[in-house]
């Protein structure tokens, strides 16, 4: 837990950081740019069959993965590109929706249907998603915060706590495309 301006305990990733303390606000790209970037990234993945656009996390950085979920209402296959970090065998991402206020659709889909497929540079995995809680969430949030120094400020712009999502592999699905 962190402390807010009045000294009250505040969960990590909620109304903390320089903006909450009255300091400078980190510069965030305009929403249209963030959305356009991720749409373009997904188009590159589709056009190349996943050969370009996926990378492994490097020390002090994050990688990208291609997550396939099942729509919570439609039941249709949905794909999204996400940033992730490794945590042992698990892959960890954040349900941030480009730091917009709404929960991302992929996270809502995973809450309804936690089994999904992840494609990384290393192949395809069957995973089960869950929300990190308590000390695990704080540890994983700190990992992300070490990569992005403005993380707490960005998260403070959302009306609710940003979920840290753990994708736990339960079997190797192969290394080819779906």
Mean pLDDT of 10-29: 53
Predicted pLDDT of residue 157:
87
Top pLDDT among 30 and 168 is at 168
User: CA-CA distance, 67 to 37, in Å (whole number)?
Assistant: 17
Total domains, the chain: 1
* Residue 76, phi-psi category: left (phi > 0), alpha (psi -120 to 50), beta (remainder): beta
Top pLDDT among 163 and 8 is at 163
Residue 176 has pLDDT above 50, yes or no: no
CATH number reported for the structural domain that contains residue 103 in this entry: 2.30.110.10
Confidence of residue 89 (pLDDT cuts 50, 70, 90): very high
Mean pLDDT of 51-55: 79
Residues with Cβ within 8 Å of 169's Cβ and at least 6 positions away in sequence, in order, are 89, 90, 91, 118, 125, 126, 127
HEC assignment per residue over the chain: CEECCCCCEECCCCCCCCCCCCCCCCCCCCHHHHHHHHHHHHHHHHHHCCCCCCCCCCCCCCEEEEEEEECCCCCCEEEEEEEEEEECCEEEEEECHHHCCCCCHHHHHHHHCCEEEEEECCEEEEEEEEECCHHHHHHHHHHHHHHCCCHHHHHHCCCCCCEEEEEEEEEEEECCCC
**Residue 169, beta-bridge partner list:** 127
Confidence of residue 105 (pLDDT cuts 50, 70, 90): very high
**Residue 127, beta-bridge partner list:** 116, 169
Residue matched to tokens 């190797």: 172
User: CA-CA distance, 41 to 35, in Å (whole number)?
Assistant: 10
* Residue span of the structural domain in which 11 resides: 2-174
100 phi, psi to nearest 5 deg: -75, 170
């Amino acid at each position: 837990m962190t402390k807010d301006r009045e000294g009250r305990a505040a969960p990590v990733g909620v109304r903390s950081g320089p903006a909450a303390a009255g300091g400078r606000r980190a510069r965030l790209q305009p929403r249209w740019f963030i959305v356009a970037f991720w749409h373009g990234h997904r188009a590159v993945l589709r056009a190349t069959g996943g050969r370009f656009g996926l990378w492994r996390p490097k020390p002090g950085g994050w990688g990208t993965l291609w997550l396939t979920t099942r729509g919570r209402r439609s039941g249709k296959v949905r794909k999204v590109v996400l940033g992730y970090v490794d945590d042992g065998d698990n892959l960890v991402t954040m349900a941030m929706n480009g730091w917009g206020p709404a929960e991302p659709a992929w996270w809502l889909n995973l809450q309804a249907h936690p089994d999904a497929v992840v494609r990384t540079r290393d192949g395809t995995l069957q995973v089960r998603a869950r929300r990190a809680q308590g000390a695990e969430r704080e540890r994983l949030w700190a990992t992300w915060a070490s990569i992005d120094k403005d993380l707490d400020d960005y998260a403070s712009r959302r009306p609710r706590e940003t979920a840290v999502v753990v994708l736990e592999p339960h079997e190797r699905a192969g290394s080819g495309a779906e």
